[in-house]
């Protein structure tokens, strides 16, 4: 299991503004691009994003489904990564004075990733998480206006009704 944390120089509401915006997914999730709502209203439980995943020269489609959404504290996702299977990705968002402590916990669930999970995989996930959490902090700190000390509420939930 790969667990990593990042201190973000803004309040939890600013972090949630980014986490709840599906158009920002590729801005902070390492390896993804072209994210689009696939189903539901992001980030309601059961909603899903589809995106392109690039690993070196290989490109395939990925899909992430919200399994738990309890703002402003918890967001849990299941990411389906083509032939690799799926992984649970959990964000624990905690107030830390005027800042926010974000704890990221990821582990493979299904498919090849789940059966081949070992310490070497966790080491690779740690590197990925380091980059992803830095990117999340950078997006929050750069793009959420007046976030420090503000009482702004999270950005509007964007999406579409299933089947539209």
CA distance 119 to 47: 31
Instruction: Give 149's pLDDT tier (boundaries 50, 70, 90).
Output: very low
Average pLDDT for 94-120: 83
Q: Is residue 57 part of a domain?
A: yes
CA distance 35 to 61: 10
- Read off the tokens for 1: 């299991």
Q: What is the CA radius of gyration of the chain?
A: 15
113-142 tens-digit pLDDT: 666 666 776 667 667 768 889 999 999 999
Q: What is the DSSP string of 49-81?
A: EEEEEEETTEEEEEEEEEEEEETTTEEEEEEE-
Q: What CATH number is given to the structural domain containing 49?
A: 3.30.530.20
- φ, ψ (nearest 5 deg) of residue 27: -70, -25
6-51 tens-digit pLDDT: 999 999 999 999 999 998 888 998 878 888 899 999 999 999 999 8
Q: Is residue 126 part of a domain?
A: yes
Asked whether the whole model's pTM tops 0.85, one would answer no
- Read off the tokens for 47: 């909603």
**Closest to 139 in 3D by CA, of 52, 64, 48, 30:** 30
Q: Is residue 75 part of a domain?
A: yes
Averaged pLDDT score across all residues of the chain? 82
Q: How many domains does the chain divide into? A: 1
60 is in which domain, residue-wise? 2-143
Q: Is residue 123 part of a domain?
A: yes
């Amino acid at each position: 299991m790969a667990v990593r944390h990042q201190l973000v120089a803004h309040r939890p509401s600013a972090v949630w503004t980014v986490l709840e915006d599906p158009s920002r997914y590729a801005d902070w999730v390492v390896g993804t691009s072209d994210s689009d709502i696939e189903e539901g209203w992001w980030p309601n439980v059961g909603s899903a994003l589809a995106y392109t995943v690039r690993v070196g020269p290989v490109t395939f489609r990925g899909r992430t489904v919200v399994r738990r959404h309890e703002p402003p504290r918890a967001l849990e996702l299941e990411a389906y990564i083509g032939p690799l299977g799926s992984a649970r990705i959990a964000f624990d968002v905690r107030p830390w004075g005027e800042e926010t402590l974000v704890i990221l916990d990821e582990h493979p669930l299904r498919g090849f990733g789940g059966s081949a999970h070992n310490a070497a995989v966790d080491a690779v996930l740690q590197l990925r998480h380091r980059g992803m959490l830095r990117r999340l902090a950078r997006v929050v700190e750069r793009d959420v206006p007046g976030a420090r000390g503000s009482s702004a509420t999270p950005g509007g939930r964007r999406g579409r009704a299933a089947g539209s």
